[in-house]
Amino acid sequence: MYFYTQHALEKMDSLGIERQEVEQAIEKGMKWKEQQREMWHAQMSGTEIVFTKENDTFIIVTVYLAGRLK
């Protein structure tokens, strides 16, 4: 299950990124966890997703174009 924060939805809307792209990046893209906090990143096709995991739910925190300033 996926939960999108208001911030993530606004970023997706401004960048023209669909929910399907976000979910595919998490499912199939390259993933890594930050060392200092419980944040995960997923990257695929030029899109980077920042998310956390709680049980079976992915909480999408923000979305941006990979290689750009956050």
Please write the tens of the pLDDT for every residue from 15-53: 999 999 999 999 999 999 999 999 999 999 999 999 999
Q: What is the pTM of this model?
A: 0.90
Please check whether residue 12 lies inside any domain of the structure: yes
Please check whether residue 29 lies inside any domain of the structure: yes
Domain containing residue 16: 2-65
In the prediction, which pLDDT does 68 show? 63
What's the CATH number where 16 sits?
A: 3.30.2310.20
Please check whether residue 41 lies inside any domain of the structure: yes
Please check whether residue 56 lies inside any domain of the structure: yes
Structure token digits, residue 3? 């939960």
d(CA 25, CA 33): 14
Please check whether residue 70 lies inside any domain of the structure: no
Domain count, the chain: 1
Contact between 63 and 17 (Cβ < 8 Å): yes
